[in-house]
Structure formats: C-alpha cells, structure tokens
Amino acid sequence: MNYVVIPARWSSSRLPGKPLKKIGSKPMIQWVYESCRKSDADFIFIATDSEKIRDQVLEFNGQVIMTSVDHKTGTDRINEAITKIKCHEEDLIINVQGDEPFISHDDINTLIHNYNDDFEMATLYKELKKEDIDDTNTVKISVTDNIATSFSRNFKSSDSIYHHLGIYAYRCEFLKKFVNYEQSENEIRESLEQLRALDNGHQIKAFKSSSTSSFGIDTEEDLIRANETIK
C-alpha cells in the first residue's frame, strides 16, 4: 500500500494557523489534499493536532486523523497517525508538507513509482532561483550523483545546490526507526528534520522535480504570492 500523509499543525512561529490560511476561496490544506488526490496513492489523509483543522478537512470531505500536540516534527506526527491505522513494514509512506499547496501529483508519482530499497529515504528538488539563495525560508539541498549530501538554509556556495521540496518517501519500517533517534544537533540548529536521517548514516535519494510552479508557504509574503499565482 502507498500512503500519502500530510502533517498539519496549528502552531507556526512564522504563520500561526497556516493550514487554514485562504488561497483564493479554499484553505491551504485543501489545496494540498486535492493535489495529492490526483496522484496514484492508495490512501491519503491529514494528520493534525487541531480540531479547527480537523473540522475544516471534514467539511471538504477529506480524511483526517487526530494526533498529539506534543510532537516536535511532522515525521513524529506521521508516525503516530500511521501507528493508529496499523501500516505494514513494507508500506510506502509519502510525507507531503501541509504548506505545499502547489505540489505536483506527478512529483508524488515519481516517488511512488521510483522508490526502491536501495535507499531508505527519498525526496525531491528543483533549480534554485537567484533571489532564493540568501532567503533562509528557502531550504536548500546539496546533491551529488542523485544523492542528498546535505540540507541547509544558509549554504555558503551555490555549486550543486538546489531548492528542496517538502516531500519525502520511506517505508513504514524506516519511519519507526527514524522516530526513535534523538534529534541531532544539525537538525535542531537548522530546524530541518531530514538531517536526523543523514546524521544517523542513512542515505537519501534525490529526484529532480518535474514541476516549476510548486513552492512552500512560510510567510505572509508567500501567501500573497500564492494568491497572485492562482489568478
């Protein structure tokens, strides 16, 4: 089975209540969910700690699972949700961030159809625009031979550096292993949970995105840009 799980928490230091911010006439989380619905995933649901988000998801007939407010990362939240539905070790989990309203279903399918057990985790990247190089809200990824070697918000060089997309793939078995690791110093410093995998010796495969229009929403400026995009 292939699961797309969308972690969506209410608290956000830069944009509180972010999943329910409107893009056009719909809340952001609905845009994410509907994009995922177009993919080849067998099952799609939102994992949240907020009754407000839950109620909104039910209003647009989405699937939702309530989780604890105490999780430090989205991956920890996904683990609780997956545990509740009792996934099998070989099931594939696609973690799509709840602030990626324009995520392409083709990108999700890239992970679904190209994931194999030669690596334990996979993600996506695209070309990095010049204006985003110094933007700490834009997460960068260093890629060598289609393998992610590092992630940062502040790379000193632009060589082999790309724009990282908020989407991951891994087996349910690996997810259970990942959440038992302590948060690494790099993860805490950068506020990037994927560094926990690298710091514990796991390889992350990096696929290039086929989309040029997707971007995450971290600030009010991003929200304005998203509303301009749909026009």
Q: What is the pLDDT of residues 192-209, one digit of tens each?
A: 999 999 999 999 999 999
- The answer to whether residue 84 scores a pLDDT higher than 80 is yes
Look at residue 29 in the predicted model and tell me its pLDDT.
Answer: 95
Pairing outcome for strands 204-208 and 121-126: parallel
Distance CA 129, CA 206 (A): 18
Computed on alpha carbons and rounded to an integer, the radius of gyration of the chain in Å comes to 16
DSSP bridge partners of 126 = 163
- pLDDT mean over 144-160: 85
Both tokens of residue 108? Answer: 């999700």
Look at residue 21 in the predicted model and tell me its pLDDT.
Answer: 92
Look at residue 132 in the predicted model and tell me its pLDDT.
Answer: 85
Model pLDDT for residues 155-179, shown as the tens digit of each residue: 866 678 999 998 999 999 999 999 9
Distance CA 56, CA 12 (A): 18
CATH number among 3.40.50.880, 1.10.10.10, 3.40.50.720, 3.90.550.10, domain 2-230: 3.90.550.10
Q: Which helix (H) or strand (E) holds 107?
A: helix 105-114
pLDDT band at 220 (very low <50, low <70, confident <90, very high): confident
SS3 29: helix
Look at residue 95 in the predicted model and tell me its pLDDT.
Answer: 95
**What does the domain layout of the chain look like in residue ranges?**
2-230
12 class by beta-carbon count within 10 Å (0-12 exposed, 13-18 middle, 19+ buried): middle
pLDDT band at 142 (very low <50, low <70, confident <90, very high): very high
Average pLDDT, whole number, for the chain?
Answer: 90
Look at residue 137 in the predicted model and tell me its pLDDT.
Answer: 83
Model pLDDT for residues 108-121, shown as the tens digit of each residue: 999 999 998 889 99
Look at residue 158 in the predicted model and tell me its pLDDT.
Answer: 67
Distance CA 193, CA 115 (A): 20
Look at residue 123 in the predicted model and tell me its pLDDT.
Answer: 96
Contacts with 131 (C-beta within 8 Å, 6 or more apart), sequence order: none
Distance CA 33, CA 221 (A): 22
Distance CA 140, CA 186 (A): 14
